[in-house]
Amino acid sequence: MRLVEPGQTIENVDFLNVYISLGNTHPGSNSGCKFHDDDADGRIDPDEPGLEGIRIDLFREEDGVLEFLRSTYTNSNGEHSLEDVEPGRYRVREASPDG
């Protein structure tokens, strides 16, 4: 679990079942990058291409219940961004490649 301060942008998140808790005063955002980590060092290297078209789902968590909010897709560089997320507790999840 990662805590996010108001207005903070977090990057390079491992999207599998990551909780983010956004600040309680200002909307925040979440962004990140998906890539094929060929050498599994957790970092993007020049010869590791970004993964385009990966769906990233944003859920709001309330009382342990996840409510789907919206999706975004990674661009040709494997990057995505979720803007203007209202204060609250969220889960960001990468959709499985099979949908």
Provide the binding-site residues for Ca ion, judged by CB under 5 A.
37, 39, 41, 43, 45
Rounded CA Rg of the chain: 14
Residue 47 or 98: which CB sits closer to Ca ion?
47
Task: Work out how close the CB of 78 gets to Ca ion at its nearest, in angstroms, rounded to a whole number.
Answer: 12
Q: Which is nearer to Ca ion, 46 or 97 (CB)?
A: 46
Q: Name which of 42 and 99 has its Cβ closer to Ca ion.
A: 42
